Amino acid sequence: MREITEARTVKAKTRKFVLGSPKDTDWKEKTLLMIGETGTGKSTLVDGMANYILGVTWNDPFRFSIVNLEDEEKKKIGNQAVSQTEWITCYTIYPHEGSRISYTINIIDTPGFGDTSGLDRDRKSLNKSENCFPQNPQRACYLLTQFAFLSKRRMRD
């Protein structure tokens, strides 16, 4: 996993990481935007999806972690009152031999909503997400194809 340094925008706290490399035959691409409350497991789901895509099975004695936290984010680990994720990060995974998918996937991990920082922070996070879809091709995730809304609430019988 390598960071595309040209995609990093410190002011907007957006960045992009890539796993693998594009092939001339790659033309299918999907983009998934992860949205939800603080503490719902968006970043954990990103790691789980990456492990599935990379072919990790339940019986394997290892797991990959592609989520890359900044130093200020690492200091918050374990505090469920605030979002652990401050940066909007696009993880691009290219298909490879043995991959469980045959297309490029962009998974956009966003900061959680509804933490103790308040509504103003939530609004700023929404505005920052526009930086994932700019004209700069190094930064871009061109077409948003899916949303994943995560919630702490669960359905009852």
Note the pLDDT tens digit of each residue in 61-105.
999 988 877 666 666 566 555 556 778 889 999 998 888 998 999
Q: What is the DSSP letter of 111?
A: P
Domains of the chain are 2-150 (3.40.50)
Alpha helices of the chain — where are they, by DSSP H? Answer: 42-53, 71-74, 119-128
User: Encoding tokens for residue 132?
Assistant: 């994932």
Q: Which DSSP helix (H) or strand (E) runs through 90?
A: strand 88-93
CB contact set of 149 (below 8 Å; sequence gap of 6+): 35, 36
From residue 76, give the alpha-carbon distance in Å to each of 32, 80, 89, 95, 142.
25, 8, 17, 33, 31
For residue 42, pLDDT over 60 is answered with: yes
Q: Which residue has the higher pLDDT, 123 or 67?
A: 67
Question: pTM for this one?
Answer: 0.75
For residue 140, pLDDT over 60 is answered with: no
DSSP, collapsed to helix, strand or coil, labels residue 157 as coil
Q: What is the pLDDT of residue 92?
A: 93
CB contact set of 71 (below 8 Å; sequence gap of 6+): none
